[in-house]
Amino acid sequence: MPETCKLNLDGKEYELPVVTGTENEKAIDISKLRATTGYITLDDGFANTGSCQSSITYIDGEKGILRYRGYPVEQLAENCTFTEVAYLLIFGELPDEANRKNWWDLLTEHELLHEDMRHHFEGFPATAHPMAILSAMINANSCFYPHLMDLDDETFVDAAARIVSKVRTISAFAYRKSMGLPRIYPRPDYSYTANFLHMMFSLPNKDYDLRPEVVKALSELLILHADHEQNCSTSTVRMVGSAQANLFASVAAGVCALWGSLHGGANQQVLEMLQNIRECGESLDKVVERAKDKSDPFRLYGFGHRVYKNFDPRAKIIKKACDELLEVLHIDDPLLDIAKRLEEVALSDEYFIERKLYPNVDFYSGIILRAIGIPLNMFTVMFAIGRVPGWVAHWREVHTDPSGRIYRPRQVYQGENERSIAPLEKRGA
């Protein structure tokens, strides 16, 4: 017999079906609750609401588990490239040799932007935030490929490759625009991550020195950010996509959601915090004490996680990459020194240990990005580059669901009751 849940309302009993996921997650199906009872549920922030059934990413926050399509993220970071992980998320399986080559060829084919798009870059002021440019330019891409608005299986592959490939080109060009530097075009012989670094930091008369340790660290960082279940930006992509909005518009909406400081801006907040610590000159012991004082407005960013209650599995991977990178680069940076000492102090403090407030992925990713030379205003852009494959996968899941319909949450109205208004001449106006 199917499992059900009984609900008593107004003296009546209702049976609600229970849905069980492949990892034994259980959910009460309330999709017909309003139709049968007249009630809706209220769940501010959707913390206890499953908005969909998905087969892309699994998270167990209590056990510190993150898997893409069933593969532990630890194995993917160690054994795969970012483009392979992108293929896995979007199409459901790791590519074999033939699909790996075809996917590489497609990404290479679509890495350039339409030359007319240079006028769009020229129209932005030098002070424009790269995330604003990224969102606008992803959306503008749809104007140049109208045949990709109504997607079938074949054209979807082309559209997915275009958006995954072009996002790094747009991002690099946005940075060059902000710095007043000429655009550097991608090279077909470079890997995905190496090409991004090349477009970011090369000069017309001198190529950027692509150190393998830097390329590897950045590739791992992108893999760790590639998807994270139904977070704010992914839910936004699914919401917009449910209206049958095209892939470019839906991903552009995801960029806008990610831009928020409570979402994609966390690693930027870590570096800003380190800068403030340096400027105020307080000892790190004092900083940690302030973080433990609930009456002090100071916040220690980069520790703990809303979903992971014990440890963030991504943090373990990125910490190792961070340690290896800093050892190789021998960078003399006071902010990075503060970060390493802050990590040591917090990890040895009983307050943090008891509450499992370990450094999270945002803490280490900010350190890595600064060590590589990525400027602070590009931190969230780097997050977006990594997250695009996940967004594309979720958009496709929404569009291929035969029972799918437009997302439309309900609300509990708390405003004025019905009022009447007199004609203008009777109101003495």
Q: How far apart are CA 359 and CA 357, in angstroms?
A: 7
Q: Which of 198, 228, 362, 394 is catalytic?
A: 362
Q: How far apart are CA 137 and CA 133, in angstroms?
A: 6
Q: How far apart are CA 252 and CA 267, in angstroms?
A: 21
Strand partners, 274: none
Q: How far apart are CA 57 and CA 66, in angstroms?
A: 7
SS3 285: helix
Q: Which of 225, 228, 305, 394 is catalytic?
A: 305
Known active-site residue 305: yes
Nearest partner of 369 among 171, 133, 235, 84, judged by Cα:
171
196 φ, ψ (degrees, to nearest 5): -60, -45
Tokens of 277: 């610590």
Known active-site residue 225: no
Classify each residue of 217-254 as buried b or exposed e, where b means 16 or more C-beta atoms within 10 Å of its C-beta.
Answer: bbbbbbbbbbbbbbbebbbbbbbbbbeebbbbbbbbbb
Is the torsion defined by CA of 269, 272, 278, 279 positive or negative?
negative
Backbone dihedral region of 373: left (phi > 0), alpha (psi from -120 to 50 degrees) or beta? left
Which residues are annotated as catalytic?
305, 362
